[in-house]
A and B are shown apart, each in its own frame.
Chain A
Amino acid sequence: MIETRGFKILRAFGLVFLSAVVLVPLFVVVITSLKPLEDVQGIFTWIPSEITFQPYLDIWKTVPLADYFLNSLIVVCIATAFSVVIAVLAAYALSRFPFKGARTFSLMVLSTQMFPGILFLLPLFLIFTQLQRTVGIQLNGSHLGLIITYMTFSLPFAIWMLAGFFASIPKDLEEAALIDGTTRMGALWRVVLPVARPGIVAVSVYCFITAWGEVLFASVMTNADTRTLAVGLRAYASQTDVFWNQLMAASVVVSLPVLIGFMIVQRHLVTGLSTGAVK
């Protein structure tokens, strides 16, 4: 766009406005997490009476935050790993071989990606109940049950995004390797995967972020022992007093891993989202 003076003035104001929209809630979270308890019991104040890091120490004692953290890590890491491994294979097939049924398979992946989790939660909950009754495998309330439900959204997404990444990698590389006598799996493993690594990392981080922030499945599929952060944070608010300062401190702590991951891969994420979805 050609930048007139009017546009430049508008841009300055616009960027300040958008920054304020983003920053005000973030400021409220961070400043509240640094307040002593007396400060958060009355009307909200923009400036704390004193700055204290005590909430960041207390959060681990008020509720078993470390356990929730560990539960979240286990479930989200395993669900992401399974999804990405299965998706790499399927996406490679979709992006390289014009096989019969490829279109049907893509249609299935694409459409299931768009259905709300509640459509899968009800029947999966019933299947898990019945499995426990007949075979004795406990899935409701177990890590495995939550992992399976998390794959309902991360798997189709990973397949779709990775297929976009693979399609953008030139075929010449593997062809050279195949002519040199490498097996097909070898070509995927040693030639394609190294080139596609930024894409695979971006997809993994994206799956991780989505699963980390998921509430619906976690609210049904976890119990006191397997509670994840998404549900566990409510414990700060369910006592007679709401420990707002601790709740905000805990929010900062649980956001850090995904924020850092996001910052690292954001550039590849843009490429992946726009080639995968907007093709």
Chain B
Amino acid sequence: MKDLTFGTILAVFEEIFGRGLFWTMVVAAVVVTVAYVYVLIRDHSISWRKFLLAQLSMPVGSVAAIWFVLAMTNSKLSNLGGPVDIIVFLGIAGVGAIGTAILVYTIQSLIRPRQ
């Protein structure tokens, strides 16, 4: 890669999704994250009941993320060929799991503020 700067990466992501969709996704991610921090601060505590459901949703999120990537790229599990593939695979699963957990927790907190 020549000149692999942040600007290049941004340009590439804009091309992958289209400028509109990419920035919509960035905004959505920021909104969910800010909402998550907001409910944490507002409630001054983590609700372990809500966190339990969030945790339960994590496997669903990780499988969904992997399924999405495989389907979008004409790939199958048997294509994983080396250590870096396993790391990427686990990374996708991890991002899916954590993203879903944050989303589920935030939605619960916004719908049913304090229990």
A and B bound?
A: no
